[in-house]
Amino acid sequence: MLNLNDLRFFVAAVANGGFAAAGRALGVPKSTVSKRVAELEQALQARLVYRSSRSFTLTDAGRDFFEHARAALIEAEAAQEAVQRRVAEPSGTVRITASVPTAQLFLAAHLPALASAYPRLHVQLEVSDRMVDLVQEGFDIAVRSHFAPLPDSGLVQRPLAVEAIVLVASPDYLAARGVPALPDQLAEHDGLLTGASAGTWRLNGPDGAHREVMPRARMTVNESMVLLGAAMGGLGIVPLPEQTCRAALAAGQLVRVLPGWTAGSVTTTLLMPARRGQLPGVRATVEFLVQCLQPKAAMAAAAK
């Protein structure tokens, strides 16, 4: 029977990219981690890691073993916490990853309330626009906003919100350039684009109508908050998710353009590895976010 602690040292070494980093993360000497991994290899009679002074690389056997070892540790942790599940307060560390707009628009308002509700829960949020690999990088939850359906990755997916992408502009811009009454008139207006290939806007209108229009490219930015500021500055018309521009619309800094038309929709989805969802801290975080965000999505849909 393998020593479960040896699995813990091995998984930490892989997750942290080496023995020294794993030792720092676990609070033990580097030599201890190296020795325990060597003993694990001896017990298995297989090399798991290629070692050198500058590199730490898994063998093919090491990669296979890592997936099972990590799963075994998660199961062991879940088994331990299951004993006290009904009475234990959610605790421990929950690692969340989200993009910059998603963190600002969906999480910033709710994570403080989550921390207050569960004082023993330590939430770690990494805000990054790169596509994070939850399993490889040890995250419990990802909150992602996306335009197309997410691929089948083996992760648990829970949709949180679906919101329309609307066309908006500042009152000053519309006063100077006129208010378009038809989608085709957008060709005579300045457009704020989300990317070099986003010059054509595909609009959905009343009774299933569809139009493709090409505004004049005034600015191209791949970050929604910058586009929001550009629109409020009077530079042109921009398609943005409703949540992104809701406050500016309420304050009169922006107004809807062609209010009967939308430029598609964006979905916000919570993802997590299936085993992580068994842990009380992760489960409490997931349910909290679902309760916070799904009612807002339902209210927004009812208000249309």
Q: What is the pLDDT of residue 297?
A: 45
What residues does each domain of the chain span? Answer: 4-82, 92-158+267-303, 163-266
CA 96, 99, 105, 108 dihedral sign is positive
Q: What is the pLDDT of residues 114-146, one digit of tens each?
A: 999 999 899 999 998 888 888 888 899 999 888
Q: What is the pLDDT of residue 56?
A: 82
**CB burial of residue 53 (10 Å; 0-12, 13-18, 19+):** exposed
Q: Hey, is 128 helix, strand or coil?
A: coil
β-pairing, 156-169 with 238-241? antiparallel
Amino acid sitting at position 282: V
Q: What is the pLDDT of residue 152?
A: 78
Are 185 and 211 in contact, with CB atoms under 8 Å apart?
A: no
Residue 118: phi and psi, rounded to 5, are -130, 85
Q: What is the pLDDT of residue 232?
A: 97
CA 133, 100, 223, 268 dihedral sign is positive
C-alpha span between 186 and 179 (Å, rounded) = 9
pTM of the model: 0.63
Given the candidates 3.90.1150.10, 3.40.190.290, 3.30.950.10, 3.40.50.720, the CATH classification of the domain at 163-266 is: 3.40.190.290
Q: What is the pLDDT of residue 65?
A: 93
Which residues in the chain show pLDDT less than 50?
297-304
Q: Does domain 92-158+267-303 have CATH number 3.90.650.10?
A: no
CATH number of 4-82: 1.10.10.10
Q: Hey, is 223 helix, strand or coil?
A: coil
Are 201 and 134 in contact, with CB atoms under 8 Å apart?
A: no
Residue 284, number of CB atoms within 10 A of its CB: 18
Are 138 and 15 in contact, with CB atoms under 8 Å apart?
A: yes
Decide if 4-82 and 163-266 have a common fold: no
Residue 255: phi and psi, rounded to 5, are -135, 155
Q: What is the pLDDT of residue 198?
A: 80
